[in-house]
Structure 1
Amino acid sequence: MSSVVAGTPRTLNTSRSWGLAFDDLSRAWRQRQLWGHLGWQDIKQRYRRSVLGPLWITISMAVTAIALGILYAGLFGNPLEEQLPYILVGFIVWAFIGGCITEGSMVFISNAGLIKHLPAPVSVHVYRLIWRQMLFFAHNLVVYAVMLVIFPQPLSLGSLVAVPAFALLVVNGFWVALLVGIVSTRFRDLPPVMQSLVQLLFFMTPIVWIYEDLLNSTNETIASRARLAELNPLLHYLEIVRRPMLGQSFELRNWVVVLAITVAGWALTLVVLRNYRARVSYWV
């Protein structure tokens, strides 16, 4: 009996090791066939018996972007060929960011049955979520391609920066979903809070309004307040992808901020994964 009691602390300490945390991530990565299949099945199941399938999301987003593009072009006096592509690409990138945050808060809760009965690393479900969001992003690029035909953009070889920028977005989406997902299993009030926060951040982030227009405003009050948008980290995530997709040169400060947050975010997430990975199956 004493040996069992004495061994309990060692078991708990063993479950909180860096090796197991990294092993969880690496083993989940090696199970690409599993989470890849599950992610694809999520999309097929959601749009079963639908003719257009996930393109409904793309169509809905395109209609909303067109309506807002016409509205804000009139409000700000911008040419439609400038305002509409700005909003449309912003919507495409934001759909990925918002999906990682909101669905990330439910990533373990919604997969409680699989977590309890499937002997797999917990991060498998995060890989599944990110893969699903990447598929949605790929579907939304159809609208981007149509936009390029109607409103050609000055694309160049520099526009290829959008590829590593999106890869960086995926890396950040992973740690956000993993971190928020673990915390949400313990504190169930967090998912609705995250949904409300994402809605608020949508209006605070330059998606439908052009940041440079306000920054270059002749009204000093508006220009000074516009600079506060730089404090919004999502602005930088949005810009590293949107600017090259619109044929614009990248801003170094956006990349510096994103890289700094990436390092800090992953450091925090790895600590949380190390300490609470083993408790996820109990919390769900």
Structure 2
Amino acid sequence: MTARIGVIGGSGVYEIDGLEGAEWQTVETPWGPPSDQILTGRLGGVEMAFLPRHGRGHVHSPSSVPYRANIDALKRLGVRDVIAVSACGSFREAMAPGDFVIVDQFIDRTFERVKSFFGTGCVAHVSLAHPTCARLSALCAEAAAGDVRVHAKGTYLAMEGPQFSTLAESRMYRDHWGADVIGMTGMPEAKLAREAELCYASVAMVTDYDCWHPDHDAVDVAVVIRTLTANSKNAKHLVTQLPALLTDRPETCPCGCDRALDFALMTAPEKRDAALVAKLDAVAGRVLAG
């Protein structure tokens, strides 16, 4: 089947209800297996593919998530639009637990993850000035409106984890770096989606304030879990609203996401590593063919 919409579920979002013809599919990729099988089906008459980022049962830590395999697998299924949802902490009083933040910028502080499909033998550099798709992000904000308070923009600080921030780090990210929310999975996922020429939107679901907040230590863990559960329900509802909004999807992305590799390849054709090129068949086949 050809899936038009891909959803990557974060903490607390391990499945999507209501898919017609739902089937868990195994997708093989040259980058290894993805986090889990991919749930495919139809929602509102639109083909959809759902991938739990951490795997069912939450078996992958943020650092062990196979990001390359996940993005490759979705593209092999025909996905063009990827909506990634994730739990996050907030650096802003106005972005309260339960709110959704439509991320438009990232600060990447991860250091243990492979961040590109390309490398020695086939070098490419894509633009990440605007790492998310404005068209798809606006539709996600529209889909979530009415159920939760939605912030249309926000800068996401991606940390390595699995530990949370120190107080000094939290204050630095908030006061000096201008980050709005913090999480562990936004990068390199967004970078890889851009290399794969996919439209990518990031919906960050606030579960708590980070440790900068003077009342953070007074927050009961049970309250955080309840917020995560409520966020998960709202995220699933957001997904159910997307098919109707994406019915009139333009053939060409107005943001240029689907043409990100037009001028990115640097390695001369005769110098390209054949084995790496073969692995890039789904991700970069458009520009490597011929």
Greater helix proportion: 1
TM-score range, shorter chain: under 0.3
Greater strand proportion: 2
The structure with the larger Rg is 1
Task: Give TM-score, length-normalised by structure 1.
Answer: 0.24
